[in-house]
Amino acid sequence: MNLSPDQTIMFQAWGVPINATIFYTWVVMALLTVSAILITRNLRPDVPPNRWRTMLEVIVQGIEAQIEEVAGRRERHLLYYVGTLFLFVAMSNLLLVVPGFEPPTASLSTTTALALSVLIAVPLFGITSRGLGGYLKTYLEPSFIMLPFNIISEFSRGISLAIRLYGNIMSGAVIAAILLGVAPFFFPVVMDVLGLLTGLIQAYIFAILATVYISSATATPPNTEKENP
């Protein structure tokens, strides 16, 4: 029994082995992209919105509203990043119910990659927002003594993000596989239903935590604002 889809080789491309994680990631990417293209191809001001476009607008505006609620402001670049994070994780977890599909989020490599991307995104957004000096200064707050703790905190965030998502999704898939052997009909269905719920919740938690981390790095410190006399 393979606990990670990394160990499953789907095919070879130009001599490079493509494992199940990368393959199913491409499947999810293709699904998301094709869906987006199909839904938004007739997106013109003179065409009235249909139900698919309305659904997408609700999703996008919901994500934007969540980001605004957490960050306190509208940030389109953050929306692109966090929205993609949420849609990718949610779509991967929802496809868990498809027979034979192995969610990429059940691979520690994928969750590590997502956590690393968040780890990289936090300083990038912070530097973009505050400048290099302003961002580095946050590691010395409230005192320079806190520098090692801030660095450890930064890395522990990424590790916790990766392990949390991986653990939840992988455990759901493993439990479903075990129960499939023990009781082939009823329990796997129940566990898959629960897996859908936990998958969506995990996608939401992952996206919200990423938003919190990035917005905390980009937030303007209160003491730098000019006080009105």
Partner 1 sequence: MSIDWITVAAQIANFLVLVWLLKRFLYRPILDGIDAREVEIRDRMQEAVLAKEQARAVEKAYQDKVHALNVAQSEMTETIRKSAEEQRDVLLADAQKRLEREHDALKTHLDDEAQKYTAKMHRAGAGALLSLTRKALRDLADETLEVRIAHRLVEQAKPMVPDLQRAAGQATEAVITSQSSLPDLVEEELTSELRGAFPEVAVRFGTDEAQAPGLVLRVGGAQLAWTVDSYIDGLACLIEEQLTAGNDLRVKSHEQ
Tell the smallest beta-carbon distance from residue 224 to partner 1 (Å): 30
Is the separation of the CB atoms in 225 and 130 below 8 Å? no
> Cα–chain-centroid distance for residue 213?
13
88 part of the interface to partner 1, by CB under 8 A: yes
Tell the smallest beta-carbon distance from residue 117 to partner 1 (Å): 6
Among 10, 94, 97, 109, binds partner 1 (CB under 8 A): 109
164 part of the interface to partner 1, by CB under 8 A: no
Measure the CA–CA gap between 78 and 7, rounded to whole angstroms. 33
182 part of the interface to partner 1, by CB under 8 A: no
Nearer to partner 1, 96 or 170 (CB): 170
Measure the CA–CA gap between 110 and 29, rounded to whole angstroms. 13
Residues 3-62 that bind partner 1 (CB under 8 A): 3-4, 6, 19, 21-22, 25-26, 29, 32-33, 36-37, 40, 43, 45, 49, 53, 56-57, 60-61
- What residue ranges bind partner 1 (CB under 8 A)? 3-4, 6, 19, 21-22, 25-26, 29, 32-33, 36-37, 40, 43, 45, 49, 53, 56-57, 60-61, 76, 79-81, 83-85, 87-88, 104, 107-110, 112-114, 116-117
